[in-house]
Structure 1
Amino acid sequence: MTAATNEPEAVDTIAVILDHLRQAADAHGIHEKEDLGGVYDEQWPEWYAQHMAETLRAAGYRLERAQ
């Protein structure tokens, strides 16, 4: 919170998403190589979504619908 406004500090949304996408890409490359034996993962969007949800939650982020 900022002291003057009692509003949450701004988060650079693009930077956060980009960072977590890069983390997911790195982890997914390892997953394809080690867990899938080098086979292309047809379900990569689901894998990325799960990975990003977990890492964002672990970093203290959460999605909240605007009112």
Structure 2
Amino acid sequence: MSETVPQVDTVQVVLDVLKQAAAAHGVHEAEVLGGRYDEEWPQWYAEHIASTLADSGYTIVRTAS
């Protein structure tokens, strides 16, 4: 018997994770970097988003085209 995977609104999931990352990155810049601009923000965001998605049970799967 195959398990039914619930459908999700991908845009909403990505938007929610981006908003969480933005808030967390603001704290990171303020508290960890002492208010300095984070030159490495793309790497930080990628790591945060990947971790948040994984913690929520999401995996990114490439489908054959």
| Fold shared by both chains (TM-score > 0.5) | yes
Q: What's the offset of the Cα at 1:10? A: 1.5
Q: Which has the higher contact order (CA 8 A, sep 6+)?
A: 2
What TM-score does the superposition give when structure 2 sets the normalisation length?
Answer: 0.90
- Tell me which amino acid in the other structure corresponds to 1:33: A
Percent of pairs with identical residues: 55
Q: Residue 45 of structure 2 aligns with which residue?
A: 48
Give the gaps of 5 or more residues in structure 1.
1-5
**RMSD of Structure 2 on Structure 1 (CA):** 1.1
**Structure 1: which 4+ aligned runs deviate by more than 3 Å?**
none
Q: Residue 23 of structure 2 aligns with which residue?
A: 26
What TM-score does the superposition give when structure 1 sets the normalisation length?
Answer: 0.87
Q: Residue 11 of structure 2 aligns with which residue?
A: 14
